[in-house]
Amino acid sequence: MAEDDRIAAFKEVAEDMPDDPVVRFGLAGAYLDAGQAENAVSEYRETIRLKPDYSAAYRGLGRALERAGRTDEAVVAYTQGREVATKNGDLQTVKEIDVFLRRLERPG
């Protein structure tokens, strides 16, 4: 499925289920895959607003912010996500976020 088709499909479902964080998360991922980082940022933020303990959404938000060139904001999102993931016992997300944070801390 082409990226535009994925986005259109998720947008259609999001119109029917605007308060479903899983749908918003999927739409954010589709935007990110299509290179639309700012749209992805908006949808990840909406996902987090709907479900503040959705640790994978913070990870996605960090990735989208990085791709948008907003590194400082990405670090904040990753740090918040690490805290949420730790509270949830989501060890895989903690490990992934740690890798992303270490990469951002490297000079150059």
CATH of the domain at 96: 1.25.40.10
Structure confidence by residue, pLDDT tens digits, 13-51: 999 999 999 999 999 999 999 999 999 999 999 999 999
Return the number of other C-beta atoms located less than 10 Å from residue 38's C-beta.
Answer: 13
What number is the average pLDDT over the span 53-58? 97
* pLDDT for 1 beyond 90: no
pLDDT for res 94: 97
Question: Are 39 and 8 spatial neighbours (Cβ–Cβ below 8 Å)?
Answer: no
What domain count does the chain have? 1
Weakest-pLDDT range from 1-5, 32-36, 102-106? 1-5
Kindly give the interhelix angle for 21-33 and 55-67, rounded to the nearest 10 degrees: 30
pLDDT for res 107: 66
What number is the average pLDDT over the span 44-72? 97
Residue 34 burial (C-beta neighbours within 10 Å; 0-12, 13-18, 19+):
middle
pTM beyond 0.85: the answer is: yes
Domain of residue 77: give its range.
3-105
Question: Are 32 and 60 spatial neighbours (Cβ–Cβ below 8 Å)?
Answer: yes
Structure confidence by residue, pLDDT tens digits, 72-95: 999 999 999 999 999 999 999 999
